[in-house]
Amino acid sequence: MTESQTQPPSPNRRRIVGTTALGVSAGLAAGLAAGVALALPPKSAPIPPQPGRRRFEGKVVAITGATSGIGRAAAIQFAAEGGKVAFCGRRSALGAEVEHEIKEAGGQALYVKADVLVEDEVRGFIDRAVGAFGRLDVAFNNAGITIEKPLHEYSAEEWDAVNNTNLRGVFLAMKYEIPYMLKAGGGTIVVTSSSNAIATQAKRSAYSAGKRGLVGLVQAAALDYAQQGIRINTLIPGTTDTPFLRKAAGMENVPDAVWRVGLNQWVKSNVPGIGRLATAEEVAALALALASDEHPFMTGAQIVLDGGKTAKAG
């Protein structure tokens, strides 16, 4: 009997997240009211440069959590630079959309429905990626969730849902990615952590514990494989403007224009430094840089992209 077969059933994350208020929800609600009253437009983010490079020509890339947000942006960017992209996620319709978009643009992609909570599905995803494209050169382990509440209010199920996704899920992905990279003679792995690993807030104990744990996991694993041609680094983004942020804040059904005005107001009071959220495309662009061959001496590092958030906190 395998480890995944002996585990208790995984919790229903849709139910858990649906019953939990994110720390930003109240602030966003207030921002909506103030923003509508003041009719302030949202601040638009600059679009990252498009260099047209082909850094991943002929390379095989595996991405977890790529049906939306940062993972989706990364899948599209890796494919645009010549990568053969295999990616997973739980939402089949969104996965099919991303795969179609990449193929329509002339890229190569394979979507596999898989949940990083389930070991057999993680192993199956990596095996299918290699089966389809012949090898594995790059991995971007990005899947993650959050539940926010005071520590004593977490159920054990909720705590496990967050940390088994964010921390154990990365362990499982690396466990099955690394043997293929060793066989290929090397590779690069990028892991998405969070600025909450450096400076966090109330009601984020589960999320912060897992994201800080990823830093230690990457440091140790980087030393395990540094002399075998595998580089492993941690990407630490600040709050990023993705559909998950809107859903977790309970604002999916609010008109987009109203959401943007309210979000803009919340950002003015809660986001130091540059004073806006990151875009998924900006974070993905840094993931590509870390995964490329441009920095061959970098391993075990934590690269922060947060617009100055943790600089103020420090």
Residues belonging to the active site:
207
Q: Which of 250, 266, 277 is nearest to 28 (CA)?
A: 266
Asked whether the beta carbons of 148 and 207 are under 8 A apart, the reply is: yes
Q: Which of 139, 39, 42 is nearest to 87 (CA)?
A: 139
- CA atoms of 191 and 212, how far apart (whole Å): 12
- Hey, what amino acid is at 300? G
Q: How many Cβ atoms are within 10 Å of 118's Cβ, its own excluded?
A: 19
Are β-strands 187-192 and 302-305 bridged in parallel, bridged antiparallel, or unpaired?
A: unpaired
Beta-sheet strand order (sheet of 84-89): 108-113, 84-89, 60-64, 138-141, 187-192, 230-237, 302-305
